[in-house]
Amino acid sequence: MTGRIIGTGSFLAKTRVTNDDLSKIMDTSDEWIYSRTGIKERPIAKEETTTYLATMAAKAALADAKVTPEELDLIIVATVTNDFVTPACACAVQAELGAMQAQAFDINAACAGFMYSLHTVYAYMQAGLAKRALIIGAETLSRIMDWTDRSTCVLFGDGAGAVVVEASETGILACDQGADGVRGKNLTCMNRTNNNPLVQTDTRLQYVKMDGQAVFKFAVSEVPGSIKKILEETNTKPEDVKYYLLHQANLRILQIVAKHLGISMDRFPTTMDHTGNISAASIPILLDEVCKKGMLNRGDKIVLSGFGGGFTWGSCLMEW
């Protein structure tokens, strides 16, 4: 037994902030951002919460799958920007949906969070522990950005993507995931410093801090190997895969991965021009856009792959 995606949905924060908008509030330009990243604009939340974005994406995925909330037995939300320390975003979404038969928990694996969640659901279904699972990647990253740090804040956006996975004979064929906590110090957000009366708190630590070049090097060194591993495991040639749906961090990272695999860029659909990097939400948003454009047919093989803070990474080969 494995798991098959039977529905997708997504929901972006309503307000779009273009590179030109940013250049009015910081020393940057459309030319600098677009040429280095492929990003033109990003959705930024005003009143929307992570729970709201997650719930809207979940409702769209459930409608697409023709599954009712009561039929779900598992809800996982991948996020680093839950509205609360507790309860988990998955519990808040469960309440919003009325999915009272479902167990619910969050996974924090940053931009690889959706892949870690998919791998978890795969394991649940292989073990016969779940029949219908909802996985959501949801983020309001704009609230953990240092808006005076132009090298980082221009990259990220706010939104959510969701999939419904059903236990099935076909679907997910192989998964790989890994972590490297030693190099992970290059991308951090320490948002709960000790603030008891005995210590002083450095509030600057509450925002994302990133060594962009270290993250770039990590991504291009780990992602091709992770994808090759699942292809080799399943005797699949890179050209047998119709689309490679990768985390939308940076167009140049995708171009290097494509070159490593010997695959042309038209098999790497993108959203980053209008979404920026929405961390755990980026892969399900991309998958939803690909589905809504009618680009996938039953039996197509696709690879999903994510990478990010931790460092963490994960890849999955599936038959649609």
Note the residues at the interface with ligand COA (CB under 6 A).
28, 32-33, 36-37, 111, 150-151, 154-155, 210, 212-213, 215-216, 249-250, 277, 308
Q: Which residue has the CB atom at the shortest distance from ligand COA? A: 212
Strand partners for 298: none
3-state secondary structure of 184: helix
Question: Is the separation of the CB atoms in 3 and 169 below 8 Å?
Answer: no
Distance, C-alpha 305 to centroid of its chain: 9
Minimum CB separation of residue 70 from ligand COA in Å reads: 35
Nearer CB in complex with ligand COA: 1/26: 26
In this structure, what DSSP letter does residue 66 have?
T
Q: How far apart are CA 212 and CA 216, in angstroms?
A: 6
Helix (H) or strand (E) holding 138, with range, is: strand 132-140
Minimum CB separation of residue 277 from ligand COA in Å reads: 6
Residues with a catalytic annotation lie at 111, 247, 277
Nearer CB in complex with ligand COA: 37/305: 37
Quick one: CA torsion of 245, 251, 254, 259, rounded to 10 degrees? 140
Question: Is the separation of the CB atoms in 57 and 93 below 8 Å?
Answer: no
Minimum CB separation of residue 216 from ligand COA in Å reads: 4
Minimum CB separation of residue 41 from ligand COA in Å reads: 14
Distance, C-alpha 99 to centroid of its chain: 23
Q: How far apart are CA 166 and CA 312, in angstroms?
A: 26
Q: Which residues contact 39 (CB under 8 A, 6 or more apart)?
A: 19, 33, 154, 155, 272, 273, 276, 277
Nearer CB in complex with ligand COA: 35/126: 35
Minimum CB separation of residue 189 from ligand COA in Å reads: 12
Nearer CB in complex with ligand COA: 213/234: 213
Q: How far apart are CA 266 and CA 42, in angstroms?
A: 22
Nearer CB in complex with ligand COA: 212/238: 212
